[in-house]
């Protein structure tokens, strides 16, 4: 059974149960918890559907732009895979804890594959409290007046990280709207040197307990000078001032980034995996 009755997604009466399930692992579930806290379980506002194969505290998945398994065992993953394959694919990635994401992809690969890329080991990091090093005092909140200067750096970061140009298809209008929304929410940070973005990062998701950092980038011309560590420390400090835990996940092969985050004070609390689907 998916949802509660008649193969439907979870709805308003399930919010409390879903919230309790998400709260069991607040760092791993931050991306979904932030949306549920803001919009409830209405698919229209949530941007996707919440699924369960039994009850939300035992099995849970989010299906939207990302397909994200959150809880469950092998039988639950079978149900989630069947549900995902029952309709045209809407997600561009399968992402979440590696122990759930990779087995779910195994069930989907013959229909949705081959994957464009599988990032099977992405340490999930968390920092409770303030950073271990001094924040860069020149890192500040980005304003709407900065968007034109910020946008090219964000595009370069996105292409390097995801391998896709966010400007393709609509000349970047949707990506620009997404950045503008984060700026309005006071969740975009940068260090500027004139018109040059030296360092940038965003708090991509903000639940009541966790702020998940994304899009960390340093201008290639100034890498190796400590901007990444000090800049990220500034973002962590901003999250800590709000009483939240800072989190992010990083590609396992990116040794430089892992060392940077270790210096800031992050510790590994889990392992994510991401399957990028064409």
SS3 content of the chain, % helix, strand, coil (to 5): 40, 25, 35
Dihedral (CA of 250, 137, 157, 246) sign: positive
Residue 129 contacts residue 240 (beta carbons within 8 Å)? yes
Decide if 277 is inside a domain.
no
pLDDT at 51: 93
Q: Do 108 and 152 fall within a single domain? A: no
Is residue 232 in a domain?
Answer: yes
Whether residue 152 sits in one domain with residue 107: no
Domain final position from 74, 97, 113 = 113
Statement to judge: residues 86 and 148 lie in one domain: no
Domain contains 191: yes
Two structure tokens written together for 1 = 């059974």
Alpha helices, DSSP H only, in the chain? 15-23, 30-39, 43-46, 74-85, 98-112, 147-162, 173-184, 227-241, 255-264
Q: Is residue 52 assigned to a domain?
A: yes
Per the domain annotation, does 19 fall within a domain? Answer: yes
How many whole angstroms separate alpha carbon 254 and alpha carbon 197? 22
Residues 6+ apart with CB under 8 A from 229: 133, 260, 263, 264
Question: In this structure, are 106 and 153 located in the same domain?
Answer: no
Residue 4 counted as domain residue: no
Residue 237: partners with Cβ closer than 8 Å, 6 or more residues away = 130, 131, 135
Residues 147 and 202 in one domain: yes
Are the beta carbons of 101 and 273 closer than 8 angstroms? Answer: yes
Global pTM reads 0.93
- The pLDDT assigned to 228 comes to 97
Range of the domain at 94: 12-113
Residue in this structure with the two tokens 């000349």, named with its chain if needed: 171
| Phi, psi of 187, rounded to the nearest 5 degrees | -125, 20
Q: Tens place of pLDDT for every residue, the chain, 278 residues?
A: 344 333 456 888 899 999 999 999 999 999 999 999 999 998 888 999 999 998 877 899 999 999 999 999 999 999 999 999 999 999 999 999 999 999 999 999 999 989 999 999 999 999 999 999 999 999 999 999 999 999 999 999 999 888 889 999 899 999 999 999 999 999 999 999 999 999 999 999 999 999 999 999 999 999 999 999 999 999 999 999 999 999 999 999 999 999 999 999 999 999 999 999 98
CA–CA gap between residue 268 and residue 261 (Å, rounded): 10
Does 100 lie in the same domain as 144? no
Query: Which phi and psi (to 5°) does residue 29 adopt?
Result: -100, 10
Q: Is residue 276 part of a domain?
A: no
- Residue 199 and residue 201: Cα distance in Å, rounded? 7
pLDDT at 7: 47
Is there a single domain that holds both residue 95 and residue 146?
Answer: no
Which CATH number covers residue 217?
Answer: 3.40.630.30
Please tell me the total count of domains within the chain.
2
Provide the 8-state DSSP code for 58: T
Is 125 a member of any domain? no
Identify the domain boundary among 65, 94, 113: 113
Which of the listed residues 51, 78, 113 is the one where a domain comes to its end?
Answer: 113
Determine the Cα–Cα distance for residues 55 and 100; give it in Å rounded to an integer: 17
Does 32 share its domain with 151? no
**Predicted local distance difference test score (pLDDT) of residue 4:** 38
Residue 137 Cα distances to 56, 70, 219, 232, 246, angstroms? 43, 37, 18, 11, 18
């Amino acid at each position: 059974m998916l949802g509660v009755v008649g193969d439907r997604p979870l709805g308003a009466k399930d919010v409390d149960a879903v919230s309790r399930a998400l709260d069991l692992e607040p760092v791993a579930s931050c991306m979904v918890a932030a949306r549920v806290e803001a919009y409830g379980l209405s698919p229209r506002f949530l941007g996707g559907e919440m699924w369960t194969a039994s009850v939300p505290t035992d099995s849970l998945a989010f299906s939207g732009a990302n397909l994200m398994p959150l809880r469950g065992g092998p039988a639950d993953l079978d149900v989630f895979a069947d549900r995902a394959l029952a309709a045209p694919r809407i997600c561009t990635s399968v992402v979440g804890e590696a122990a759930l994401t990779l087995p779910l992809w195994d069930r989907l690969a013959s229909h949705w594959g081959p994957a464009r890329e599988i990032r099977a080991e992405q340490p999930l990091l968390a920092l409770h409290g303030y950073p271990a090093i001094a924040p860069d005092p020149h890192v500040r909140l980005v304003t709407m007046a900065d968007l034109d200067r910020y946008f090219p750096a964000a595009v370069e970061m996105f292409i390097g990280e995801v391998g896709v140009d966010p400007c393709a298809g609509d000349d970047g209008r949707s990506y620009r709207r997404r950045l503008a929304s984060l700026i309005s929410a006071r969740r975009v940070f940068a260090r500027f040197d004139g018109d040059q973005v030296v360092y940038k990062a965003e708090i991509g998701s903000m639940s009541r307990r966790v702020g998940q950092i994304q899009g960390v980038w340093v201008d290639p011309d100034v890498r190796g000078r400590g901007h990444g560590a000090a800049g990220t420390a500034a973002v962590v400090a901003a999250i800590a001032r709000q009483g939240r835990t800072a989190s992010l996940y990083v590609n396992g092969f990116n040794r430089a980034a892992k060392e940077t985050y270790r210096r800031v004070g992050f510790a590994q609390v889990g392992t994510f995996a991401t399957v990028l689907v064409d």
